[in-house]
Amino acid sequence: MLTAALIVGALLVSPQAQASIEQQRQLFHDASAALERNQMSKFNRLLKQLDDYPARPYLEYDAFRRSASQLKPQQAELFFRRFADYPFVYHARGKWLSVLARRGDWENYLDFFDGRENTRLKCIAFQARLKLDRLENINADIAKVWLRGYSQPSECDPAFEHYLASHEQADKVIWLRIEKAFKARRPNLARYLGKKLDQQSRATVETWYQAHIRPERSLRKLADQEDSEHTRAIIVHAIDRLARKDSLKALKQWNLIRDHFEFTEAQIDQSQLRIALSAALQHEPEARALLASLEPSVMNDQAYLWLARIQLRGRDWPGLKETINRMPSHLQQENEWQYWLSRSMEAEGQLVDSLGLLEQLSGKSSYYGFLAADKLHRDYHIEQENAASSEIDEETFLSANPHLLRARELYYLDRLIDAKREWFQALRYLDQDGIKQAATLASRWKWHDSAIRTVAKTPHRSDYSLRFPMPYKQQVLEYAQVRELDPSLIYGVMRRESLFDPLARSSVGALGLMQLMPSTARLVARSLGMKRPRKSDILRVENNIRFGTHYLKTVMNRFDNNVALAAAAYNAGPSNVQRWLPRDSSMSADLWVETVPFRETRNYVQAVLAYSTVFDKSLGKNTLMSSRMGDIRTEY
């Protein structure tokens, strides 16, 4: 149990260290292991030896989490006050709130509740207010959670029951949430909410549900329904759903049905825009006309961008120039559209204006800057600038920045989540010079992902040593030779995938430096005659580079060593790339990349190509980016 004596222990860093920093780190690990085994006497003894160690409070945090259910409110309050400046306090308070909820200690729950946005804890606070009859403005507060189109935690049920029971227009707010649920593509929630309505309304919700699940069939039935507000809303929803699957079928149904109902102007605009955007995404030939027919007031950023990309794919240079000139200024001024405006001017013989735009772009160390430089036969503008002096006195700098000092120790203790929380809390209090120094230190520690993210907060985009480091060089060069791959390309992929964080995990489960899905890693391991790797095996640097370069070589071979296609396949899969190939004739790679339907993949390919070019400079190579971008054929 976390004792009161432990809570009030000294925290200040003593100038007389009891052990070297390495010994302190080992003591920390030993104390952590003792706590894990519930060896509290040993834990407390080791903790006393760490009085001057910056990361010591994290052991107390661990102890708090383990013993929270046994603590008294006074002990918890003392803990939160002592460590008020530590990022872990937010999470410790969340743990403590759950303890109080389990106890049914509603008075203390409300005293400790900090108004956080965590929905479960917020709804428990509603429960506490209901139990204690603190009802002032409670319905207005509950409404903010109720009016969400997603299922909410079960802890919200008592608050929702109170809200509906005391609301003068309960049916109205139920319908509002049903509409939000369908819009959020949560039909089962909408169906559940419909059970709270009368029989006729339940039937309407069921019709809407069927329109969500089987839009084409439902639209044929809806055509014979009487005009009503709900029928129109259901039809618009069904058109949206069908368009996402088959835009031309949606267009046919819309043309058959639109004149038989009194749709609002907004509903008409919404349906036509959805059909046009879906047709563009599905590469339908009709997409250009559908987008071009939209009223200017209906056009949004997506519509302008898709129309421009369709005109690009069709080499409609006059149309492209007109569309770019009609774009909102925030789009028009982007490097992307300045480059393509230049290309459209070139195609129309306006060479002076075209060259002027290319001149401006060619000085930028970016994808479009490199494309422009290649067009002008200019050298790339990749000149190293040092963001901060290399002569940083680390201990002096960190002694003035306790968050950074703790972040360093947590990083070396392999507590990366805690380290990042401390690190980015520290950056809030640093000026630009301090941020530059911090980025340099993170790079010195080989904490590359934090160094890259940190220097990105400064104007120093040209500190390539910080933004484009080359860790794991021995392994990268070895596998580049074994796989006959360009090491710059491997580094480009690695930089884009993980920012060189060997423990990176994506939201979809990709792992490590080269962000391998476990299924892909297992297929590669099998082809290499290796045993089935566990996730921990995939995260090992040696394995990750071995598996990642093997897969990269596979997609390079699959697409005839075209880097643009291979990068797209690495990101989105070879089958998608196959579908995106031009249908009638070859096209230049810059055109093809620009018309990839997935924005994530489009950005990914551009980044890998540009990053590879920067790494060329570090490796002493003068490879043109365009040499990696051969024309895209119709078949591979």
For residues 148-166, one letter each, b for 16 or more C-beta atoms within 10 angstroms of the residue's C-beta and e for the rest, the string is: bbeebeebbebbbebbbee
Cα-flanking dihedrals φ and ψ of residue 516, to 5°? -90, 135
Residue in this structure with the two tokens 């392994």, named with its chain if needed? 475
H or E element in which residue 233 lies? helix 229-245
Q: Nearest to residue 344, comparing CAs of 376, 311, 301, 310?
A: 311
Q: Which residues pair with 505 in a beta bridge?
A: 511
The tokens of 621 are what? 């190579």
Residue in 387, 377, 454 with CA at minimum distance from that of residue 422: 454
Q: Which listed residue (497, 542, 600, 635) is catalytic?
A: 497
CA dihedral sign, ordered 7, 12, 14, 18: positive
Q: Identify the H or E element spanning 245.
A: helix 229-245
Chain-centroid distance of CA 15 in Å reads: 42
Do 557 and 570 touch, CB atoms closer than 8 A? no
CA distances from 273 to 67, 106, 260 (A): 56, 50, 20
Alpha-carbon distance of 612 to 592, in angstroms, equals: 19
Query: Quick count: other Cβ atoms within 10 Å of Cβ 59?
Result: 21
Phi, psi of 395 (to 5 degrees): -65, -40
Longest alpha-carbon distance in the chain = 86
Q: For residue 503, what are the CA distances in angstroms to 10, 446, 536, 541? A: 34, 13, 9, 9
Long-range pairs for 426-433: beta carbons < 8 A, 24 or more residues apart = 426/401, 427/454, 427/457, 429/401, 429/403, 430/401, 432/458, 432/459, 433/388
Nearest-CA neighbor of 493 among 550, 539, 423?
A: 550
- Catalytic residue check, 385: no
Question: Which distant-in-sequence residues (6+ apart) come within 8 Å of 262 by Cβ?
Answer: 227, 232
Residue 584's identity, in one-letter code, is D
C-alpha torsion 537→517→558→528, nearest 10 = 20
Which residues are catalytically annotated?
Answer: 497
